[in-house]
Chain A
Amino acid sequence: AQSVAQPEDQVNVAEGNPLTVKCTYSVSGNPYLFWYVQYPNRGLQFLLKYITGDNLVKGSYGFEAEFNKSQTSFHLKKPSALVSDSALYFCALQTGANNLFFGTGTRLTVIP
């Protein structure tokens, strides 16, 4: 069985500081991992994905994520947070069947 965990419901960070949103996963076989962001009253928007290759993945809006196989983690990072980054972030695991298993989400608040 596969699962995704986002251990923090809420992350607060000051504007200009680096941010990290944590994600761990469990899957038998290769992990295919995604990050999506949801703004209020909007659908989810794709940020980045890890399929294979480099452990550091770069995505949209200056976000990146580090895949760590030994720790089964895929943490989302950004060097300098913006107030406009405040949103709900979802980590997801995709199976070979093309459906996504989502984590419970982490609400990021960037404080001016």
Chain B
Amino acid sequence: KAGVTQTPRYLIKTRGQQVTLSCSPISGHRSVSWYQQTPGQGLQFLFEYFSETQRNKGNFPGRFSGRQFSNSRSEMNVSTLELGDSALYLCASYPGTGRFNEQFFGPGTRLTVL
């Protein structure tokens, strides 16, 4: 099976712009979660989507949003970018049913905000 893929791998944006990141989960996985990784804050949970519905949400401002399509692919959007949004954004997938399953992570999208 192909792993979790994320596009693009690298992005450079300026303050005030918006950005959309994409994640394709492992085939058959219906849950996609997004995480932000920064040197200062570490790894923080953004949100989880399951069957096109947001199932859980972390403590991030409304500028961070996401969606999931019927094929389980997910996009994450950040509007009005701030310097502090520079980070590695990771998505993870798992089948979506059952509990305490391992999550499979993609390689991440590194976003730099100038």
Contact = CB atoms under 8 A, between A and B. Distances in A.
Interface of A: 32, 34, 36, 41-46, 49, 51, 90, 94, 96-105
A6 B30 CA distance: 31
B30 to A, nearest CB: 12
Given A43-B90, A90-B43, A105-B42, A99 B48 contact: yes
Given A32-B100, A34-B102, A102 B108 contact: no
Nearest to B9: A41
B55 interface: yes
Interface in B2-16: 4
6 contacts: A32-B100, A41-B107, A43-B106, A44-B92, A44-B103, A98-B56
B100 to A, nearest CB: 5
Interface string B14-58: 000000000000000001010100000011110010000001101
A90 B35 CA distance: 14
**Top 4 A-B pairs ranked by shortest CB distance?**
A43-B105, A102-B43, A46-B102, A44-B105
Contact of A44 (B31, B42, B58, B90): B90
Interface of B: 4, 31, 33, 35, 42-45, 48, 55-56, 58, 90, 92, 99-100, 102-108
A102 B44 CA distance: 7
A34 B99 CA distance: 13
Contact of A46 (B4, B99, B103): B103
A49 B42 contact: no
A9 to B, nearest CB: 11
A51 B102 CA distance: 11
Contact of A102 (B42, B55, B99, B104): B42
B102 A99 contact: no
